[in-house]
Amino acid sequence: MDTKTASEQVTLYTDEQTRRLYATDASSYQELPEAVAYPKNTQDIIDLIQYARANNTPVTARGAGTSLAGQTTGNGIIMDIGRKMNRIVNIDARKQTAHVQPGVIRDTLNREAAAHSLLFGPDTATTSRCMIGGMIGNNSCGLFSIKHKTTREHVLEIDAVLSDGSRATFKPLSEEELQQKMELDSLEGDIYRQMVSLIRDHKEKILANYPHPEVIRRNTGYALDRLCEMEPFTEGGRPFNLAELLCGSEGTLAVTASAKLNLVQRDPHSILLTPQFSSIRAAMEATVEAVKMDPAAVELIDDIILDATKNNIEQKKNRFFLEGEPKAVLIIQFDGDDPNQLRAKAQELGDRLKTLGLSSSSPVITDPEKIDRVWELRKAGLGLLMGLGAEGRTPTFCEDTAVRVPDLPDYVDDFQRILDKHDSKCVFYAHASVGELHLRPVINLKKEKEIEKMKVMAGEIADLVRKYRGSLSGEHGDGRTRAPYIEKVLGSEMMPLLKQVKQIWDPQNLLNPGKIVDPKPMEADLRYSPSYRPPEVNTTFNWRREEGFADAVELCNGAGVCRKLADSGGTMCPSYMATKREKDSTRGRANLFRQLFSGRQAEAFQSEELRDALDLCLSCKACKSECPANVDMARMKAEFMQGWHEENGISLHERFFGQAGTLYPLASLFPKLSNWMLKQPVVKELLQQWIGIDKRRDLPAFATETFMDWFSNRSNTNRPTSNAEAGRSVVLLIDIFTNYHDPDIGKAAVQFLEATGHRVIVPEIHELGRPQLSKGMVDHAKQVLDQSLPVLTNYAEQGYPIIGLEPSELLTLRDEYLDLCDDDQLPAAQQVAEQSVTFEEFVASTLQTNSPPGTSNKVYIHGHCHAKALIGNTAVEDALQAAGYETEILQTGCCGMAGSFGYEENHYEVSMDIGELTLFPALRKLPDDALICAPGFSCRHQINDGVDRKAVHPAELVAKSLTT
């Protein structure tokens, strides 16, 4: 990796991979930086800024990179403060304050604060990964801004590094303290002297031109109007505090090194009202009524977002509160101490909306788990929008406007007239309670005419905002997108003042230049533009859902959900959770895919930097469901590795794991000898050197009798009689792991199936291509498909259920086969997919009407990643409950083994680190005699290696229930 040193402590990474990873954020822009740095403390920030001054190189501070207006892209040094400066220094419960470094994730802070019944109020849709430094930079607000206002109201102090490398702490100052600051012979002193002079000279002009004071969320330009409200400019005003100016300054004035935050008490009870509307106008009129009743939040979701949730694996389960096909829905939350009062308030508002003829349906939700699910759907809105595909993209050029709440209905009508004028449609959603809607017209940036239309519309919308005395940006900031239109909103008199502020704080124009003042044209450096070249490559997968590989590599929108940590729940992205490196996130890998394939086309299949970024991808499939855009990185990795292999061949290591089925029959001839040899240190050492199997792992033992031998050798006296023979036939797929390592699981499955009246057919199919796919041997997987599909189709045509014991194997039929098959094979593949079920799904459906005697045992379930991503954990829970067990699903992510991944020498440490994120700690808390269920073969082995506990397959538990 190419590096250079900014000082003795700080390293600048200048290699192409790292620079590409930081070329984009969640906005429409892409700029290749000169270098990337990861400061670990305030001194590192100082050293970086001093280096930048000496070399006249811009510096852009960046947290999670979820900014939507291009604030965190730049062509100089990108300073990633989230990687190492992420410590909560302290939480003072008595004073209700928190002292944090800028890389602390908002949800992480709130998990710690929750122990004291406290929270940091601003609640953006990105709280699982957004960082306090970024929230300060954008003055973030979020869902509950009518209650908690903005980040600015909760920042008590900011310890900052100024543009000359000096330090300063900004906090409320008395008149005496302010005078002392103005007397300093330093850049800090200059800032105080000149800022006080600027406000004193221009106060009236500022207040006359800035957004209406009733607009809570106003981030247009620098917050000079806030300073005007303070002493000494307004008698009785707040103490002078430049920290309020830094909030929303987008890193253009100073760099936050740490911050002291105000925390607030949590309300003990919440309730939701979800009125549903036939028009956006009706929803806006309802908002005006709702805010009169002191809600904690009023959020709008329109039909475009609601429609997008229908096909999203993760979000379609959260649609439970919808009735019919509404044009719009409001999510209204009331918080307080008395749940009865909250219910009465919600009912009163619902009745009021019905009386006014605005909404005839206003469901009330009181269950905390269901309330969380509604908010999950709302928070997914942005990512869902950004994943609508090329024809449905909604660039963020005007999505952040805010007006007074009473003006919302008329403002929306005027906005719609602009849309109609330009023959455009728009998404309407978000923070209705404070007059801010995310209005996102559909624009295809790959077309020159569409870009011109965007620019014209941006100007007209800015004029509209000016008409209502609103804010061009309510929280997402000006950045590169809106900065060119600030003058239209604030007026030409304000622009010299904004430029003067930048000059006062940053005379050399080093800190994040081109944001807020002196921007490039909004169409410069677009990620997608008329000059963008989509990939034109031959692929082995057909990419049917995405309508081509080109669209697949463009799916990622930069929202960064894959950067959430394990404590936030879910599985995506396990390698990022363990390493905290951008290259190990789904977003990082997707960015490399897009940049490399759009530039080098088929040559990108030989990219060392992309191969390196994919190395720690476990192909867990979590991104396929948890990513709002449903990026399937497992499939993209397989496709890339197929292309890599075509040029470079397949290594011995990859063949060993990808074609284990060819080796297993030989090893199983002498199982005792094979098992003895695999435990010998010298053999382990050789396997590590030759094949890369980490010697700290024990390979699975071979059974003394394979399942297939047992099944074929059973005598008639051991077979069930008339009940099973007369029953409905089922096909049981026995994968190589069950056959050679865990035949007892197959036996248990047969026992259950026959006991419940089924004739069991076991075809000579032990592979469906999963090992080959995991190693990027996609052409080999296609050969497996060609051999297995006709056999399985024959069973499917007869209506036989096709049952699998290993989730990843069985789900290959319902996932990859539909994209791996040829067009003429697609009907057969679809028919097989429809008949294919996991063992747990079959049990759950069978025992609904055929329940055996139950047990009183409790079972703790660790779900399989592929199953969680594609079908969820419900089937396992339902099957075991139907068999009489009490169940608890463990809140665990990926186990870290992921097939062969955890056995490999270069992955062992990461594999165990992933296990330690959630799985191992959860298992250690269980009673010693706890029953642990894990449907996945590799999961069970990781559990054994990680915590020395035995986990069993659901088939074993279900079969056991038959005899208890």
pLDDT > 60? residue 724: no
The one-character DSSP state at 435 is T
What is the pLDDT confidence band of residue 851, given thresholds at 50, 70 and 90? Answer: low
The one-character DSSP state at 268 is S
What's the pLDDT tens digit per position in 117-149?
A: 999 999 998 999 999 999 999 999 988 999 999
What's the pLDDT tens digit per position in 903-946?
A: 999 999 999 999 999 999 999 999 999 999 999 999 999 999 99
DSSP tally for the chain: helices H, then strands E: 45, 27
Distance CA 397, CA 442 (A): 11
Region 14-34 average pLDDT: 96
Residue type, 177: E
Q: Taking Cα atoms as reference points, which of 37, 29, 85, 43 lies closest to residue 58?
A: 37
Distance CA 855, CA 841 (A): 20
Distance CA 321, CA 333 (A): 14
Distance CA 821, CA 42 (A): 55
pLDDT > 60? residue 387: no
Q: Which of 43-57, 845-859, 893-907 has the lowest mean pLDDT?
A: 845-859
What does the block give as tokens for 422?
């330009």
Q: Taking Cα atoms as reference points, which of 322, 250, 244, 255 lies closest to residue 50?
A: 255
Q: Are 443 and 450 in contact (CB under 8 A)?
A: yes
Backbone angles phi, psi at 349, to 5 degrees: -65, -40
User: What's the confidence (pLDDT) of residue 386?
Assistant: 58
pLDDT > 60? residue 728: yes
Q: Taking Cα atoms as reference points, which of 406, 416, 396, 398 lies closest to residue 215?
A: 406
User: What's the confidence (pLDDT) of residue 438?
Assistant: 87
What does the block give as tokens for 480?
């590169």
Distance CA 842, CA 756 (A): 11
Determine what percent of the chain is predicted with pLDDT higher than 90.
85
Q: Return the residue matching tokens 């028919």.
A: 831
- Beta strands 858-861 and 836-838 are unpaired
Region 748-770 average pLDDT: 95
Beta strands, E only, 296-424: 297-302, 328-336, 364-365
| Other residues' Cβ atoms within 10 Å of the Cβ of residue 94 | 6
Region 13-29 average pLDDT: 96
Q: Taking Cα atoms as reference points, which of 622, 549, 625 lies closest to residue 819?
A: 549
What is the pLDDT confidence band of residue 17, given thresholds at 50, 70 and 90? Answer: very high
Region 825-837 average pLDDT: 98
Distance CA 818, CA 834 (A): 11
- List the Cα angle 315/319/324 in 5-degree steps: 140
pLDDT > 60? residue 488: yes
Annotated domain spans of the chain: 3-80, 269-444+467-484, 549-649, 654-690, 707-961
What does the block give as tokens for 882?
């139907």
What is the pLDDT confidence band of residue 83, given thresholds at 50, 70 and 90? Answer: very high
pLDDT > 80? residue 686: yes
pLDDT > 50? residue 883: yes
User: What's the confidence (pLDDT) of residue 950?
Assistant: 96
| Burial of 494 from C-beta contacts in 10 A (0-12 / 13-18 / 19+) | buried
Q: Taking Cα atoms as reference points, which of 170, 167, 166, 168 lies closest to residue 152?
A: 170
CA 553 from centre of chain? 17
Beta strands, E only, 210-325: 255-262, 264-265, 269-273, 276-277, 297-302
| Burial of 574 from C-beta contacts in 10 A (0-12 / 13-18 / 19+) | buried
The one-character DSSP state at 325 is -
User: What's the confidence (pLDDT) of residue 2?
Assistant: 64
For the segment(s) 269-444+467-484, the CATH number from 3.40.50.300, 3.40.980.10, 3.30.70.2190, 3.40.50.2020 is 3.30.70.2190
User: What's the confidence (pLDDT) of residue 394?
Assistant: 75
Q: Which of 41-45, 49-53, 250-254, 546-550 has the lowest mean pLDDT?
A: 546-550
What is the pLDDT confidence band of residue 601, given thresholds at 50, 70 and 90? Answer: confident
pLDDT > 80? residue 415: yes
What's the pLDDT tens digit per position in 144-177?
A: 999 999 999 999 999 999 999 999 999 999 999 9
- List the Cα angle 272/276/281 in 5-degree steps: 120
Distance CA 898, CA 345 (A): 50
Mean pLDDT, the chain, integer: 93
Q: Taking Cα atoms as reference points, which of 413, 271, 406 lies closest to residue 349?
A: 271
Distance CA 304, CA 751 (A): 49
Region 778-807 average pLDDT: 97
| Burial of 677 from C-beta contacts in 10 A (0-12 / 13-18 / 19+) | middle
Distance CA 302, CA 306 (A): 6
- Residue 876 DSSP SS3: helix
The one-character DSSP state at 426 is E
Determine what percent of the chain is predicted with pLDDT higher than 70.
96
Residue 607 host element (H or E): none
Q: Which of 100-114, 306-320, 547-561, 946-960 has the lowest mean pLDDT?
A: 306-320
Alpha carbon dihedral 51, 52, 54, 56, in 10-degree steps, equals: 160
Tell me the DSSP string of 553-586.
Answer: HT---S--GGG--GGG-S-S-HHHHHH--GGGSH
User: What's the confidence (pLDDT) of residue 314?
Assistant: 76
| Burial of 490 from C-beta contacts in 10 A (0-12 / 13-18 / 19+) | buried
Region 385-407 average pLDDT: 78
What is the pLDDT confidence band of residue 716, given thresholds at 50, 70 and 90? Answer: very low
What is the CATH code of the structural domain delimited by 3-80? 3.30.43.10
Distance CA 222, CA 249 (A): 6
User: What's the confidence (pLDDT) of residue 183?
Assistant: 97
Please measure the distance between the N-terminal and C-terminal CA atoms of the chain and give it in whole angstroms.
61
Beta-carbon contacts of residue 368 (< 8 Å; ≥ 6 apart):
270
Tell me the DSSP string of 672-725.
Answer: HHHHHHHTSHHHHHHHHHHT-B-TTSPPPPPPSS-HHHHHHH--GGGS--HHHH
Distance CA 245, CA 231 (A): 14
- Residue 189 DSSP SS3: helix
- Beta strands 426-430 and 438-441 are antiparallel
CA 801 from centre of chain? 35
Global pTM reads 0.93
Region 414-418 average pLDDT: 95
pLDDT > 50? residue 755: yes
Distance CA 539, CA 249 (A): 46
The one-character DSSP state at 583 is G
Region 440-463 average pLDDT: 94
Cis omega before residue 295 (within 30°)?
no
Beta-carbon contacts of residue 317 (< 8 Å; ≥ 6 apart):
373, 872
Beta bridge partners of 804: 733, 838
pLDDT > 50? residue 433: yes
User: What's the confidence (pLDDT) of residue 667?
Assistant: 84
User: What's the confidence (pLDDT) of residue 317?
Assistant: 87
Q: Measured over all CA atoms, what is the biggest interatomic distance in the chain, rounded to whole angstroms?
A: 102
What's the pLDDT tens digit per position in 608-666?
A: 999 999 999 999 999 998 998 889 999 999 999 999 999 999 999 899 888 888 888 88
Residue 279 CA neighbour count, 13 Å, CB half: 9
What is the pLDDT confidence band of residue 721, given thresholds at 50, 70 and 90? Answer: very low
Q: Are 477 and 470 in contact (CB under 8 A)?
A: no
Beta bridge partners of 269: 336
Helix spans in 649-680 (H) = 652-658, 660-669, 671-678
